[in-house]
Amino acid sequence: MTPTQLFIFSVLQWGLFIGLGFQIFGWSEKKPKLTIIAFAMYLMAALFAGYTLYTGELNVEIARERQLVAMSKIILGMGSVSIVALLLMLKKKSNRFLNGLIAALALVVFLILTQDPKVSKEKQATPTEQSDKQ
């Protein structure tokens, strides 16, 4: 994994993890300010995902980066839903459906980001095996 991939993965994972922590803690303690912080964290992760998509730093021919591009698009969509939920929460019109939807999306995306991508079942020859064949 290149340093760029590692940085992008880490930022997105930590943004989702911290957002989930604040959202769950805000629900359990009935503190809406913590839920607002969670939505802000999701929004920040979405802005970072949008930035990485806009700059084109990722190569879609590599399996891990292709997965990262797909997750970035999902996080970007989750950020837009988070804006709506944040605005509703600030107007004191909390929507439980949106809160649950965002939490479920964040959990699924976080769990998918922590998995290894599927690699082909064909064994790739290492450089030493290639030199042995010659």
The domain ranges of the chain are 3-114
Q: Cα separation of 64 and 24, whole Å?
A: 29
pLDDT digits (tens, 9 = 90+) for 19-75: 999 999 988 898 888 988 999 999 999 999 888 888 877 777 777 777 788 888 888
Residues near 133 by Cβ (< 8 Å), separated by ≥ 6?
A: 125
How many C-beta atoms surround the C-beta of residue 103 within 10 A? 18
Provide the pLDDT for residue 94.
67
DSSP code of residue 114: T
Confidence of residue 129 (pLDDT cuts 50, 70, 90): low
> Considering the entire predicted model, what is its pTM?
0.75
Provide the pLDDT for residue 52.
86
Q: Cα separation of 12 and 1, whole Å?
A: 16
